[in-house]
């Protein structure tokens, strides 16, 4: 990420330490809630490998869907939602056998969890309702129930939606905004337009010694940066502050001991009563093994002195996951006993091309997951809850590399499937079309409406 003034952001200018999954302590997005609606199975949008029957009693509508005793048959409903949000889906069914009937449930192509089992009912004339919780997008959604074993799915009567609870993007989404250049938009205007409540503000650097300053030159408190932070909080939001980036003098290098570095971090934590910090470790700070260890040890001190604070470490990646330096950083932290909350990669500027950055990002995330799991010994679910991504919207710093809206949608689906800790990007400054005289640090380089990219990620609640 950048730090000083305008060079186009090399590959780390951004994405500082990605995000987090904490409980959402922010107000909910003001949107309407959808009333309950019933969708009969016999009238579903798609029925495959099954029949509509009436040979049992107690069903609703004109019949029910009877799946064969085989895997692969499905029923798919088209479900409409007024607003994006989580909703309760009640599936009415009967299962007259003595065993559970497992199925796979997908919403908009993404699998919900690892499988759902429909318990036995007293007989085929006895109906029960299985409630599941799903995240719906505003407008049309597809909900599919597919038999996964030779026993088939249960008989399906209808799907009914409960009251929809709008998604409120929390700390997991906190987009980067840079106040130093790039014609930064008003953060409160971004909040009003997208519903986001959290921002990751970049960057805190060295003022020449072991002392923190915005961009290494603007005062830590009392200036325009603090005024904007005050405005975010007055509007019901909060902030993560990012240390580092690509350019400028890094505190990790200027502070010559872990205790001194922890003290520099602490000055910022105290100044803004921070709940989360992001260490965007790049360039010379990243390349020096001594400095990497100093950062690890300093974060241990920070966590000891600030119970409950969350730490994010953000760094670059290859298309297959962390390179040898990234693996070394993760292993150093695990070996040193640092319980880092989020390991966040920046999946861009790595030669991804113009059509598959979403797929390559999920591939890189799986590589990150494997390295974090191996280092810490977490379960799969716990590992996903400790990793995140910070993408770049539109044209990146590599010629021919392009992150499209479709790629953000792929990343969102991955986040929703695995419940990752952070889903963010560089940056709000760039989330608009370019005008005359615009540069790559203040626009995306692709046709779009303001905040089109952020509105995709804002559907993620963590």
Catalytic annotation, residues: 282
Q: Kindly compute the dihedral angle of the four CA atoms of residues 143, 145, 148, 153, in this order, to the nearest 10 degrees.
A: 180
Measure the CA–CA gap between 2 and 16, rounded to whole angstroms.
11
CA distance 343 to 219: 29
Q: Sign of torsion, CA 457 198 386 318? A: positive
Read off the tokens for 379. 């379960």
CA 278 from centroid of its chain's CA atoms:
15
The Cα–Cα gap between 290 and 239 comes to 29
Beta bridge mates, 277: 241, 311
List all residues 6 or more positions away from 303 whose beta carbon is below 8 Å from its beta carbon: 309, 311, 338, 339
Separate counts of helices (H) and strands (E) for the chain: 11, 24
Tell me the Cα Rg of the chain: 24
- Give CB contacts under 8 A, 24+ apart, made by 57-61: 57/125, 58/94, 58/125, 58/126, 58/127, 59/127, 59/157, 60/92, 60/157, 60/158, 61/157, 61/158
Q: Are 424 and 431 in contact (CB under 8 A)?
A: no
Per-residue burial over 79-99, b if 16 or more Cβ lie within 10 Å, else e, is bebebbbebebebbbbbeeee
| 3-state SS assignment for residue 123 | coil
| DSSP E strands, 255-396 | 276-280, 310-316, 342-346, 387-392, 394-395
Residues 6+ apart with CB under 8 A from 230: none
H or E element, residue 142? strand 139-147
Give me the residue label for tokens 């986040």.
415
Minimal CA–CA distance to 192: which of 408, 460, 458, 416?
458
Question: Residue 35, exposed/middle/buried by CB under 10 A (0-12, 13-18, 19+)?
Answer: exposed
Q: Is 422 helix (H, G, I), strand (E, B) or coil?
A: strand
From 310, 352, 347, 309, select the one nearest 326 (Cα to Cα). Answer: 347
Separation of alpha carbons 150 and 420, rounded Å: 33
């Amino acid at each position: 990420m950048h730090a000083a003034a305008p060079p186009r952001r090399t590959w780390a200018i951004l994405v500082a330490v990605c995000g987090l999954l904490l409980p959402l302590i922010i107000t909910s997005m003001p949107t309407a809630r959808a009333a309950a609606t019933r969708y009969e199975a016999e009238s579903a949008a798609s029925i495959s490998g099954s029949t509509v029957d009436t040979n049992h009693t107690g069903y609703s509508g004109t019949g029910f869907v009877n799946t064969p005793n085989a895997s692969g048959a499905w029923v798919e409903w088209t479900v409409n939602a007024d607003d994006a949000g989580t909703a309760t889906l009640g599936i009415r069914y009967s299962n007259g056998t003595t065993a559970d009937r497992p199925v796979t449930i997908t919403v908009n192509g993404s699998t919900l969890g690892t499988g759902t089992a429909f318990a036995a009912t007293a007989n085929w004339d006895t109906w029960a309702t299985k409630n599941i919780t799903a995240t719906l997008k505003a407008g049309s959604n597809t909900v599919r129930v597919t038999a996964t074993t030779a026993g088939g799915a249960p008989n399906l009567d209808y799907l009914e939606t409960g009251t929809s609870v709008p998604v409120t993007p929390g700390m997991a989404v906190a987009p980067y905004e840079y106040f130093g250049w790039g014609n930064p938009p008003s953060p409160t205007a971004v909040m009003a337009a997208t519903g986001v409540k959290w921002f990751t503000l970049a960057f805190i650097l060295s003022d020449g010694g072991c002392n923190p300053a915005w961009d290494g030159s603007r005062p830590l408190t009392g200036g325009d940066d603090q005024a904007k932070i005050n405005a975010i909080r007055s509007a019901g939001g909060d902030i993560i502050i990012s240390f580092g980036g690509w350019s400028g003098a890094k505190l990790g290098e200027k502070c010559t001991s872990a205790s001194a570095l922890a003290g520099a971090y602490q000055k910022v934590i105290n100044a803004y009563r921070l709940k989360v910090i992001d260490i965007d470790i790049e360039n010379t700070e990243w390349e020096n093994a001594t400095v990497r260890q100093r950062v690890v040890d300093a974060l241990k001190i920070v966590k000891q002195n600030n119970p409950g604070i969350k730490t994010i470490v953000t760094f670059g990646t290859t298309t297959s996951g962390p390179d040898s330096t990234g693996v070394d950083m993760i292993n150093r932290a695990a070996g040193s006993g640092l319980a880092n909350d989020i390991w966040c990669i920046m999946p861009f500027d790595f030669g991804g091309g113009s059509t598959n950055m979403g797929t390559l990002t999920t591939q890189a995330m799986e590589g990150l997951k494997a390295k974090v799991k191996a280092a810490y010994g977490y379960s799969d679910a716990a590992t996903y809850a400790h990793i995140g991504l910070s993408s770049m919207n539109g044209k990146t710093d590599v010629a021919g590399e392009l992150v499209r809206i479709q790629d953000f949608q792929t990343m969102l689906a991955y986040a929703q499937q695995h419940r990752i800790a952070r889903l963010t990007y560089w940056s709000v400054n760039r989330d608009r079309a370019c005008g005359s005289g615009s540069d790559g640090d203040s626009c995306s380089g692709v046709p779009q409406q303001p905040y089109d990219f952020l509105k995709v990620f804002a559907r993620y609640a963590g």
